[in-house]
Amino acid sequence: MNKYKREIKPGVYCDVYEVLRAFDVTCPAMQHSIKKALASGQRGVKDVLQDKQEAIQSIQRSIAIDAEWKKTPLPKELQGLCREDEKEFLS
């Protein structure tokens, strides 16, 4: 059995990449956040809290990417959370 596969119902196994494809998640930042959320603290490298914090950061990054591509302002609650190289565009 592949260590990345999980049994989602009796006899049916899939990995996170199959889930992402099934739900048509195409944004790399969202893909990263979902992977972090599904396996928080289970990979032996980072604890649950750190994985959750990084999932949140990835979602915030996805919002910033959407704002940049759509040429719309970043929501006020995220304006202070963007990366330094995004501040010029998002201000």
Structure confidence by residue, pLDDT tens digits, 8-21: 999 999 999 999 99
- Residue at 81 is within a domain: yes
Let me know if residue 38 belongs to a domain: yes
Whether 1 is in a domain gets the answer no
- The two tokens of residue 89 are 């565009």
Q: Which long-range contacts (CB under 8 A, 24 or more apart) does 42-50 make?
A: none
- Residue 41 sits in which domain range? 6-90
Is residue 18 in some structural domain?
yes
How many folded domains does the chain comprise?
1
Residue-wise pLDDT tens digits, 21-50? 999 999 999 999 999 999 888 877 788 999
pLDDT value of position 9: 95
Q: What is the pTM of this model?
A: 0.72
- Does the structure show a pLDDT above 80 at 60? yes
